[in-house]
Amino acid sequence: MASLIDWDLAAIVAKRLSPSSPSVPRAEAEAAVAELYRATDIAAVQVAELTGLAEPPVTALTRVVDRDGWIDVNTAGMRTVMTPLTERLASAGQVGRIGEAVGGRITGVQAGAVVGFLSGKVLGQFEFFDRPDGQLLLVAPNVVAVERQLGVNPSDFRLWVCLHEVTHRVQFTAVGWTRDYMFDQIAALTASVDPDPAVLRERLSGALGELVNLVRGQGDGAGLLSVLATPEQREVLERVSAFMSLVEGHAEYVMNAVSPTVIPSQPDIERRFSSRRKGGNPFDRLLRRLLGLDAKTRQYVDGSAFVRAVVDKVGVADFNAIWTSPQTLPTKAEIAAPADWVARVHG
């Protein structure tokens, strides 16, 4: 059976295109890895205090990985994300022809180029597509590279990063329905794709890559909307965009609300890291726009502002009503107008 995307090839290409890791003496590298593992335990205590969410016994893996390890996990997760669409096309008897038309190897190279670029950017991630229990990934070479680039306290920065990723772990484990919610949105998008080969030949090549980016939080859906702009799909994409703004903003809020006694240099880290997000050289900034990373930055900023505004108005306990059900999640419009969410949910 032809494949829409050759994910094995994508992983190979991504590893070849992944940037070189920073030069770190072996003893220093081992110390950094050990510290990152310790920092996740410290972060878990802080996240529990700051969020008021009760995390169940941790069954998710915690893994400090290199860039190749991150690539392996994410290409496997992306394969899982795309399986429902592949099965839908197979049931329509179109996979072979579409695979031949689009070219699994071509799309594999394209996907690999994207993943390779991202492998040098991502500091950490809570990945739940590849394993049902999830796994918390910390990309050690990227953490070390950024802390050097910013000139910040390494121990403080590592704990700061872990606060963000552990918050994501809590969001998807303490709140039992959030993972299923994301899969439901993927299923809705899959169901809305027209399996007619004439339509897919025109739209699939660009739309698949944007779909993967969107459901993994790498964009706001603008590119996909321009290709698959049906009213039904717009509704799904707006729900995903609002949800990603919430979870990213919530994690951003937590990592920057930590006590100075825990991370003394947090204000300095936040200031320097915010400047870094604007991108580096012109080529890097161009790639960020093409891959939707600027949209992801807006999710951090807008989502964090939403969380701060709601917590300031009603407190953490009443903010946590947001996790009651999908119906209490903020809409995309409410992310920009927190008072509207408070009025709707709390009256």
pTM across the whole model: 0.85
Q: What is the pLDDT of residue 79?
A: 87
Q: What is the pLDDT of residue 215?
A: 46
Q: What is the pLDDT of residue 326?
A: 96
Q: What is the pLDDT of residue 214?
A: 47
Tokens in use for 298? 């807006």
Q: Could you read off the pLDDT tens digit of each residue along the chain, which spans 347 residues? A: 446 778 899 999 999 999 999 999 999 999 999 999 999 999 999 999 999 999 999 999 999 999 999 999 999 998 888 777 766 666 666 555 555 545 678 878 888 998 998 999 999 999 988 888 899 999 999 999 999 999 999 999 999 999 999 999 999 999 989 999 998 988 887 787 666 655 555 555 555 555 555 445 444 445 444 445 567 777 888 898 899 999 999 999 999 999 999 999 999 999 999 877 665 555 455 455 555 555 556 777 889 999 999 999 999 999 999 999 999 999 999 999 999 999 999 98
Q: What is the pLDDT of residue 130?
A: 81
Total residue count of the chain as it appears in this document: 347
Closest CA to 81 of 217, 215, 233, 181: 215
**Residues near 5 by beta carbon (within 8 Å), at least 6 away in sequence:** 78, 79, 82, 104, 107, 108, 111, 208
Alpha-carbon dihedral of residues 68, 69, 71, 72, nearest 10 degrees?
A: 120
Q: What is the pLDDT of residue 220?
A: 46
Domain range annotation of the chain? 7-346
* Number of other residues whose CB lies within 10 A of the CB of residue 192: 14
